[in-house]
A and B are shown apart, each in its own frame.
Chain A
Amino acid sequence: ILNVEQSPQSLHVQEGDSTNFTCSFPSSNFYALHWYRWETAKSPEALFVMTLNGDEKKKGRISATLNTKEGYSYLYIKGSQPEDSATYLCALKGLGTGRRALTFGSGTRLQVQP
């Protein structure tokens, strides 16, 4: 089983703060990295799919970077808002593992206080 780790496990910030989380994974097995946002009582929804070393993706105030050589990705939220409160999941699609499905990390739970 591929080891995908996320940190921190949870985060409480004030409205307007900028924040970031980390996803680390084994670089030798990398094929693609996914970020999902999971709001309470809703379905997880895809934020980004990243495949190339040095990739940077942006969606509004949320952006992500990828370093496949050292095996990590950062997710940044600029000027956090209460509606950003959710669990953020990263997931790895591995290569050469015989596994077709994604391997998910345990998530970072973000709470933004108004």
Chain B
Amino acid sequence: DVKVTQSSRYLVKRTGEKVFLECVQDMDHENMFWYRQDPGLGLRLIYFSYDVKMKEKGDIPEGYSVSREKKERFSLILESASTNQTSMYLCASSLSNEQFFGPGTRLTVL
């Protein structure tokens, strides 16, 4: 079974803090994704990586950056957290079509 893990289920941070969300997959997938989910808005793509050190902006990249130094790990970075970044963050990986999701991190920025 494909396993996608995220470093935290719940996280509380203060405005202005630098926040790291980590995602690890164990199936040697090329593609990895970061989404955020907000009520009524579905999953919105923040960033996407299709190979080590390669990345593409998604629909809402502002305020975020990413890092993919190893194939199995994709990190989402909030350089200076703001209250409007309070959300559920989901990581996913895929080889071609089907995406496999992690359990999500619920981030609250105070």
Q: Which positions in A face B, CB cutoff 8 Å?
A: 1, 6, 9, 32, 34, 36, 41-46, 49, 89, 91, 93, 100-107
Q: Which positions in B face A, CB cutoff 8 Å?
A: 4, 31, 33, 35, 40-45, 48, 50, 56, 58-59, 90, 97-104
Cross-chain contact of B103 among A32, A42, A103, A107 (Cβ < 8 A): A42
**A9-B40, A44-B90 known; A93-B101 Cβ under 8 A:** no
Cross-chain contact of A101 among B4, B41, B45 (Cβ < 8 A): B45
Cα–Cα distance between A107 and B40 once the two chains are bound (Å): 8
- Listed residue (A100, A101, A102, A104) with the most chain B CB atoms within 10 angstroms of its CB: A101
**A34-B98, A49-B97 known; A101-B103 Cβ under 8 A:** no
Q: Which residues on B sit within 8 Å (CB–CB) of A91?
A: 43
Contact call A101/B48, Cβ cutoff below 8 A: yes
Cross-chain contact of A32 among B31, B33, B97 (Cβ < 8 A): B97
Q: Which residues on B sit within 8 Å (CB–CB) of A46?
A: 98-100
Cα–Cα distance between A104 and B98 once the two chains are bound (Å): 13
